[in-house]
């Protein structure tokens, strides 16, 4: 295993708290790459506390709205030795509803996993599902320190910029730590940069469970909601036995509101009745 005592998981473990703190201290500098200048100026026409409550309310609305949508998601994770890919995990699946209106994932493409120096863990999969498409709702606000930094241009959008950190880390819980960009018109997050914490270490068992830094971009869907469409990871994870270069891309495509025009396919067959149940329209297909 290239000198490693055990197979590492890509929900990867920390070598030490100092390494984690160093990573967190470098987040702001990394997050500014490719951005306009960060201007240390107050929000326009609104107090900071009111702004936070406003975008958190919009985020809750967005989170609930996304639960009414289907989409296609692809996940690619690679390890690199120099410039060469030496292992890859790839999966493409549809996020749909079954005939009872329950959220399901139907795998479309999943070639053999060739990762050998790391492996995907349940925390990785949970992060991809829940924390890489990060939301900061009114329900989440009590858990986080929210620091207003100023205004910054993100492509054609003017954004309010905030740094987030968990107020405390409870056992068995995971959190986001990093930076968010909030559109000053729609008051929704349009970009996220940071990492999921805590990293997990079991020194006695020699396990190291480290998590990479990531960036998630959103795009406006149906002219109203800013949904995540692309997440990118390009990070070196610092294991005790040596660094591992990891790249990851998550794409979210083909968003469709669950309704009369949505076809639900399960095991190659179209499920009848799911749309009718959702819309209360027995004539829908």
Q: Report domain extents, the chain.
A: 45-267
Count Cβ atoms below 10 Å from residue 117 Cβ, excluding itself: 20
Q: What is the pTM of this model?
A: 0.81
> Of the given ranges (11-15, 128-132, 154-158), which has the lowest mean pLDDT?
11-15
As given in the structure block, the two tokens for residue 268 are 């190659």
Q: What percent of the chain has pLDDT over 90?
A: 70
Residue 69 has pLDDT above 50, yes or no: yes
Q: Give mean pLDDT, residues 28-32.
A: 46
- Per DSSP, 111 falls in state P
The count of other CB atoms within 10 Å of the CB of residue 272 is 12
Instruction: Name the DSSP class of 12.
Output: B
Nearest to 221, CA basis, from 68, 84, 74, 87? 68
Total Cβ atoms within 10 A of residue 151: 21
Residue 208: pLDDT band with limits 50, 70, 90? confident
34 has pLDDT over 70: no
Cα–Cα distance for residue pair 141/173, rounded to 1 Å:
15
H-state helical runs in the chain = 17-25, 27-31, 48-66, 122-126, 274-279
The CA distance from 217 to 148, in Å, is 20
Confidence band, pLDDT 50/70/90 cuts, at residue 179: very high
Q: Where are the alpha helices (DSSP H) in 145-261?
A: none
Mean pLDDT taken over the chain: 84
Spatial separation of the C-alpha atoms in residues 141 and 158, rounded to whole Å: 23
Question: What percentage of residues in the chain have a pLDDT greater than 70?
Answer: 78
pLDDT score, position 86: 97
Range 181-208 average pLDDT: 90
Q: Under a CB-based contact definition with an 8 Å cutoff, are residues 105 and 94 in contact? A: yes
* CATH class of the structural domain 45-267: mainly beta
């Amino acid at each position: 295993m290239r000198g490693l005592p055990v197979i590492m998981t890509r929900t990867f473990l920390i070598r030490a708290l100092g390494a984690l703190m160093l990573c967190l201290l470098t987040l702001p500098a990394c997050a500014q790459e490719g951005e306009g200048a960060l201007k240390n100026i107050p929000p326009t026409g609104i107090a900071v506390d009111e702004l936070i409550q406003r975008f958190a309310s919009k985020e809750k609305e967005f989170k609930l709205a996304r639960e009414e949508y289907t989409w296609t998601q692809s996940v690619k994770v690679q390890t690199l030795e120099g410039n060469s890919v030496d292992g890859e995990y790839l999966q493409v699946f549809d996020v749909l509803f079954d005939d009872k209106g329950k959220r399901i994932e139907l795998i479309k493409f999943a070639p053999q996993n060739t990762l050998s120096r790391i492996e995907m863990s349940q925390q990785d999969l949970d992060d991809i599902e829940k924390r890489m498409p990060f939301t900061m709702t009114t329900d989440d606000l009590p858990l986080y320190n929210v620091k207003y930094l100023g205004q910054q241009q993100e492509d054609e959008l003017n954004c309010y910029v905030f740094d987030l950190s968990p107020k405390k880390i409870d056992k068995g819980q995971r959190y986001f730590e990093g930076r968010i960009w909030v559109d000053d018109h729609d008051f929704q997050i349009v970009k996220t940069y940071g990492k999921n914490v805590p990293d997990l270490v079991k020194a006695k068992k020699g396990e190291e469970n480290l998590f990479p830094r990531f960036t998630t971009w959103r795009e406006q869907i149906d002219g109203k909601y800013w949904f995540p469409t692309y997440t990118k990871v390009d990070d070196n994870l610092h294991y005790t036995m040596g660094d591992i270069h990891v790249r990851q891309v998550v794409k979210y495509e083909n968003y469709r509101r669950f309704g009369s025009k949505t076809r639900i396919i399960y095991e190659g067959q179209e499920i009848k009745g799911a749309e009718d149940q959702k819309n209360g329209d027995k004539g829908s297909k």
